[in-house]
């Protein structure tokens, strides 16, 4: 189990989940995001590769906790399932109020697995990689600590698309289409489609609209002009690099995918209706 990052307030829920699992003969280990104040066996104490220790990663928290855990798990091929303690909870599938029914369904094999696209972001300077990172939701280039716009060019598979003046740009996976991209006017994308979305943030040219491209494409963001301060690159909401203007950002589909468990019956459109308040 991976608890909300260093938050001991989730202990009662984690203790309840652990008791239900152990009653069914399941060994429970605590992941690295879990507060040190919560007692239990720790994955870090086992001295074995994570994918040899656990069959399923159960994440207790909100979508932010899922994103934290995804950064840890994406290289190991371990499927994830979430217990929702947050607000919207697009990624966390199990409601806190119905733990026993959903855990029984999980242990009885009544679930499906969705393989979610991961986004690889490479920062290049003089054609040399100076940073690489993987995200589940999105990569965001934003203006940082300034009230002025930034300027950049977007190229797809080497072809010029646009010169943009805006607060930034969001490149999102289908999973990330219901996150920051949605609030910037981006489309909601069915989570298993093989596409990426590109959405400008507050573009000065109102006709500059979000677009959908194949996730086989190579997206380059370059020719930055950033007044007063450096633009920033964030992956899944975590700032990872400051941009001087001399870099090219290359965004591609990662080689691996993240497996997410969905408890039966799972209906993505019902989730959208419930979370977004559709009629």
Domain contains 29 = yes
Domain contains 264 = no
Sheet holding 168-172, edge to edge: 211-214, 195-201, 168-172, 138-142, 231-235, 238-243
User: Residue 17, preceding bond cis, omega within 30 degrees?
Assistant: no
Measured in whole angstroms, the distance separating CA 91 from the mean position of its chain's CA atoms is 9
pLDDT digits (tens, 9 = 90+) for 22-75: 999 999 999 999 999 999 999 999 989 999 999 999 999 999 999 999 999 989
9 contacts: CB under 8 Å, gap ≥ 6: none
pLDDT of residue 224: 78
Domain identity same for 135 and 248: yes
Phi first, then psi: what are they for 164, rounded to 5°?
A: -125, 135
**CATH code of 200's domain:** 2.60.200.30
pLDDT digits (tens, 9 = 90+) for 202-228: 999 889 999 999 999 999 999 777 666
Domain identity same for 138 and 251: yes
pLDDT digits (tens, 9 = 90+) for 109-148: 999 999 999 999 999 999 999 999 999 999 999 998 877 8
Q: Please check the confidence at residue 249 and state whether its pLDDT lies above 70.
A: yes
| Cβ count within 10 A of residue 266 | 13
Domain identity same for 69 and 40: yes
pLDDT digits (tens, 9 = 90+) for 226-243: 666 679 999 999 999 999
Q: Which domain range does residue 237 map to? A: 118-255
Domain contains 182 = yes
User: What's the chain's average pLDDT?
Assistant: 93
Domain identity same for 136 and 219: yes
Domain identity same for 127 and 90: no
**CATH code of 49's domain:** 3.40.50.10330
Domain identity same for 86 and 129: no
Rg of the chain over all Cα atoms, to the nearest angstrom = 20
Domain contains 30 = yes
Choosing from 109, 126, 144, the residue where a domain stops is: 109
Domain identity same for 135 and 218: yes
Domain identity same for 225 and 127: yes
Distance CA 107, CA 23 (A): 11
Domain identity same for 18 and 139: no
Name the residues annotated as catalytic. Answer: 63
pLDDT of residue 245: 85
Which residue is listed with tokens 């559709």?
Answer: 278
Say which DSSP state 36 is in: T
What is the H or E stretch that residue 84 is in? strand 80-84
User: How large is the angle between the packed helices 11-23 and 99-107, nearest 10 degrees?
Assistant: 40
Residue 160 — pLDDT band, cuts 50, 70, 90? very high
Residue 88 — pLDDT band, cuts 50, 70, 90? confident
Stated pTM of the model: 0.93
For the chain, what is the domain count?
2
- What percent of the chain stands above pLDDT 70? 99
Residue 87 — pLDDT band, cuts 50, 70, 90? confident
Averaged pLDDT for residues 94-102:
92
Domain identity same for 251 and 125: yes
- CA angle, 142 then 147 then 148, to 5°: 75
Domain contains 36 = yes
What single string gives the DSSP state of each residue in 185-249?
TPPP--TTSSEEEEEEES-SSTT---EEEETTS-EEEEEEE-SSS-EEEEETTEEEEEE-SS-EE
Q: Which residues of 171-210 are buried (b: 16+ CB within 10 A; e: fewer)?
A: bbbbbbbbbbbbebebbebebeeebbbbbbbebeeeebeb
Distance CA 204, CA 157 (A): 25
Say which range, 82-91, 134-143, 260-269, has the weakest mean pLDDT: 82-91
Domain identity same for 105 and 122: no
pLDDT of residue 226: 67
Domain identity same for 157 and 74: no
Domain contains 273 = no
69: region left, alpha or beta (phi > 0 left; psi from -120 to 50 alpha): alpha
């Amino acid at each position: 189990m991976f608890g909300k990052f260093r938050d001991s307030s989730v202990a009662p829920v984690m203790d309840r989940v652990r008791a239900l699992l152990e009653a069914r003969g399941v060994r429970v280990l605590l992941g690295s995001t879990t507060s040190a104040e919560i007692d239990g066996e720790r994955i870090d104490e086992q001295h074995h590769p994570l994918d040899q220790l656990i069959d399923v990663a159960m994440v207790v928290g909100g979508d932010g906790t899922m994103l934290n855990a995804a950064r840890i798990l994406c290289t190991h091929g371990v499927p994830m399932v979430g217990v929702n303690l947050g607000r919207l909870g697009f990624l966390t599938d199990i409601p806190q109020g119905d733990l026993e029914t959903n855990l029984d369904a999980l242990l009885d094999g009544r679930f499906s697995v969705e393989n979610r696209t991961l986004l690889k972001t490479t920062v290049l300077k003089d054609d040399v990689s100076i940073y690489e990172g993987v995200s589940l939701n999105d990569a965001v280039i934003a203006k940082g600590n300034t009230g002025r716009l930034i300027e950049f060019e977007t190229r797809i598979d080497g072809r010029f698309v646009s010169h943009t003046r805006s607060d930034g740009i969001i490149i999102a996976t289908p999973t990330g289409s219901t996150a920051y991209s949605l609030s910037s006017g981006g489309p909601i994308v069915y989570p298993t489609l093989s596409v990426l979305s590109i959405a400008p943030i507050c573009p000065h040219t109102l006709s500059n609209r979000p677009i959908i491209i194949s996730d086989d494409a190579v997206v380059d963001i370059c020719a930055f002009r950033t007044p007063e301060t450096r633009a920033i690159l964030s992956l899944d909401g975590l700032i990872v690099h400051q941009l001087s203007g001399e870099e090219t950002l290359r965004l591609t589909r990662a080689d691996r995918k993240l497996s997410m468990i969905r408890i039966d019956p799972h209906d993505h459109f019902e989730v959208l209706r419930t979370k977004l308040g559709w009629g």
